[in-house]
Structure formats: C-alpha cells, structure tokens
Amino acid sequence: MKEIQVNEYWLKLYKQVEASVEDFAVLFEFWKAGDATEEETKSAYDKAIAEIEDAEFKSTLNQPEDEMPGVVQINSGAGGTESQDWAEMLMRMYRMYGEKQGWKVTELDLQEGEGAGIKSATLQFDGNFAYGFLKAESGVHRLVRISPFDSNARRHTSFASVFVYPLIDDSIEIDINPAELEWEFYRSGGKGGQNVNKVETAVRLKHLSSGIIVECQQSRTQGENREMAMKMLKSRLYEEELKRRQEAKNAANANKKKIEWGSQIRSYVFHPYKMIKDHRTDYEVGNVGPVMDGELDGFIKAYLMMEKEEE
C-alpha cells in the first residue's frame, strides 16, 4: 500500500505537468492563428514552466528514506529564556509548515522552558516525502532581534539547533543489543489529565555505545511510549549510518562542498533590518513574517537543488 501511494504521488505529478504543457501547446497554436490573446498564452506558458520546475525540484527526493515520515528535534541553545523563546518560535514555524503541506503533525515530546519558551521539542510529520523536505532544516538556526525580555530593549543573539531524521518502518532492520539500553521513566509534563503528571508514563531511553538519548511522552501509557522510543532510537541509528555514508562520499570527492552536520545554516535577523538568509545556498528573503508562519518552500527548494547539482 505504501509503494502504491508513492507511485500514485509521482503519477499525479506527471499528469499535472503533462496537462499544463498540453494546455500551453494548444493555446500557442490558437495564438498563432489569432484566436487567443498574448496574455492568456503567456499565462499558460508560465504555468507550464512552474509545473516543470516543481517536478524537477521534487525529483531530487530520490533516496529511499526521503519518502519516510520525518522527526524534527528542536533544542534551545545557551542563553536561557531568550533561546527557549526562539526554540518555541521555530517549533511553531515547523508546525505551520507541516500543516500547509497537509501533513499530520504529532508532538512526541516537549520540555517547557523556565518562564517562557521550550527547552526542547520533538515533532513527528507524517505525509508524502516529509523527511525528504525537512532534512534541509538540520543545523543551527540563529536569531538576532530586540529582546522582548530585556527592559533596556537591547539587541540579543539566540541560537537553537534543529535535528531531522527519518522515522523508519519495519522494512529496515536495525539490530540493537538490549544490554546497551538504559531506560528511565518519569512523569509527563504539560497540562494535567488522566495519568499525566500522576504516574511515570514518560520514557527516556539512552543507547550506551552511541550516546544517543530519545524521550517520548506522547502516549498516556508507558508501554506505548517505550515502543515509540525504541522506534525513534532505531531511526536515529539509521540516520547516523546515513551521515557516515555522506561523510565518506564527501571525503572521496574533494571538489564537493562538505556538509557540516550541526553547523549554523540560517540567520534570522529582525533588527536592525529584516532578513532571513541561508548560509549554505545564499537564498534570502526580506519579508520575515511569512517565513515564520511556515513559508519555507523557497529555502528548502534552494537546498535540495544545490544538493542535486553537487551530486
């Protein structure tokens, strides 16, 4: 069923391109015969070009993991309230991006900040090629603004890290030695309710040999959170293997621009001017509002096209 769904996605995309090109071809013939205006012919041409470019962009999603659900982990940097507020702003941005794509967004874990914002959050995105698109967001995000928490209205710089990995399914085998697992159980945070804050349903799982730690408090039962935490750990280990392969590939090609995992990728400047710039692609916008409301297509497209050119 999953394979059928993916094939239907590509078939629909192809048919959209085909229909737009055919519409333009017909209008072009009408225009040459004097039966169509230049304006409507130009509009059909622009639509066909846009559809072709969109298909070319989406064709960069050609790795097996690209079609998997994506998990986004956000962690505030040093700086207390400032960075925690920035981490919450990023969480909102990604939620809105996922909703605009028509994806299902699930909160797997949330650690609230002290006074404002969040210390960390883990969100799951289920939809067509969720990981393929979201992988462009891994790295450190930097914010420059006049702090709303500073009575002297001084400019502050805040950092938050974003880590994205694919949520693997049963088709990928990951062997884990139970002796390398360390489990910890605690009470879920957030608003109260049945079981929440009353029994230890939340799960923290550490993989001793890799040092990877995952947390889950999505479900009201410890058993379901244990199961999800194990799935998240396997996904993280799979991502580590992908990273090792990428680093080996980069080392084998000295001309390829090296990707530094976890490095600063984007700056969001709200003061003294407004600009958001991606340091990997040099793509930038001056209207920061729509981006913070989830309009990330331009940044993600620029990154994926850059990756395709460098292959």
Same-domain status, 165 and 280: yes
Q: Would the pLDDT of 265 be above 60?
A: yes
pLDDT for 226 equals 92
Same-domain status, 289 and 226: no
CB 172 within 8 A of CB 195: no
Tokens at residue 98, please?
């996922």
- Mean pLDDT computed over every residue of the chain: 87
pLDDT for 261 equals 43
Would you say residue 146 lies in a domain?
yes
Is 9 or 161 the better-scoring residue by pLDDT? 161
pLDDT for 251 equals 62
Same-domain status, 150 and 289: yes
Per-residue pLDDT band for 260 (boundaries 50, 70, 90) equals very low
Same-domain status, 226 and 86: no
pLDDT for 293 equals 97
Same-domain status, 71 and 159: yes
Tokens at residue 65, please?
């993991």
Type of residue at 1: M
Same-domain status, 117 and 164: yes
Q: What is the dihedral of CA 113, 118, 123, 129, to 10 degrees?
A: -160
pLDDT for 252 equals 52
pLDDT for 311 equals 64
pLDDT for 112 equals 92
Same-domain status, 206 and 294: no
Same-domain status, 196 and 229: yes
What does the alpha-carbon distance between residue 204 and residue 180 come to, in Å, rounded to a whole number?
14
Domain around 182: 178-249
pLDDT for 303 equals 94
Would you say residue 256 lies in a domain?
no
Would you say residue 254 lies in a domain?
no
- What digits encode the pLDDT tens for the residues 129-160? 999 999 999 999 999 998 887 777 788 899 99
Same-domain status, 85 and 152: yes
- What digits encode the pLDDT tens for the residues 163-206? 999 998 777 788 899 999 999 998 876 544 444 455 788 999 99
Domain count, the chain: 3
Would you say residue 255 lies in a domain?
no
Would you say residue 190 lies in a domain?
yes
For residue 222, the domain's CATH number is 3.30.160.20
**What mean pLDDT comes out for the span 8-27?**
93
Task: Provide, rounded to the nearest whole percent, the portion of the chain with pLDDT above 70.
Answer: 91
Would you say residue 104 lies in a domain?
yes
pLDDT for 2 equals 74
pLDDT for 198 equals 57
Would you say residue 152 lies in a domain?
yes
For residue 167, the domain's CATH number is 3.30.70.1660
Same-domain status, 136 and 10: no
Domain boundary among 16, 37, 58: 58
pLDDT for 250 equals 62
Q: What is the dihedral of CA 80, 82, 86, 92, to 10 degrees?
A: 90
Domain boundary among 227, 249, 271: 249
- What digits encode the pLDDT tens for the residues 280-308? 999 999 999 999 999 999 999 999 989 88
Same-domain status, 29 and 126: no
Domain boundary among 225, 249, 273: 249
- What digits encode the pLDDT tens for the residues 55-74? 888 888 888 889 899 999 99
pLDDT for 249 equals 59
Same-domain status, 93 and 36: no
Would you say residue 217 lies in a domain?
yes
Q: Would the pLDDT of 258 be above 70?
A: no
